[in-house]
Structure 1
Amino acid sequence: MPVDKKLRATLATLEGIAADFTVSYLETSDAQTKQMFEQLSTQTNSVIRKLKGRIEDIEEEEPQYREGNK
């Protein structure tokens, strides 16, 4: 699997995980558990932002990886 596809697959997985953390946060009533899910969601979203930046860098460096070129 090409690097760009691996990164996009990882990004999709992370976005799903972040969504799961958000749903879990909303569904729990325990304050400590809510705080844990909020922190996990924040950390995961930080990783997502960094990965999106890396994908953009790769697309700039390697034009064949741009989504529109597929």
Structure 2
Amino acid sequence: MTTHSKVRQTLACLEGAKATMDVYGEISQDEQARKIFHRNSQKLDLVLDRLKKRVRDLEFEEPQFKGF
């Protein structure tokens, strides 16, 4: 498995985790839990932005991976 595919796999997993947190934040009855889920979702947004930038950098450095 290449570095590019590992980074893409990590990106997909984190996007899934963020989606799950968003759903839990919406269905949670407890206001404190909602805030925690929302705050953690925002933190994951920052990580996802950085990881997406890294994927773009990898694709620029290794054009054969573009679009995978």
**Which residue is 2:64 aligned to?**
64
TM-score in terms of structure 1 length: 0.90
Instruction: Give aligned-pair identity as a percent.
Output: 37
Give 2:46's aligned amino acid. Answer: S
Query: Residues 1-70 of structure 1: matches in 2 within 5 Å?
Result: 1-67=1-67
**Structure 2 gaps, min length 5:** none
Deviations 1:25-54 (A, max 9, x none): 001121111100001101111111110000
Give 2:2's aligned amino acid. Answer: P
Moved beyond 3 Å, runs of 4+: none
TM-score in terms of structure 2 length: 0.93
Give 1:62's aligned amino acid. Answer: E
Secondary structure of residue in 2 paired with 1:29: coil
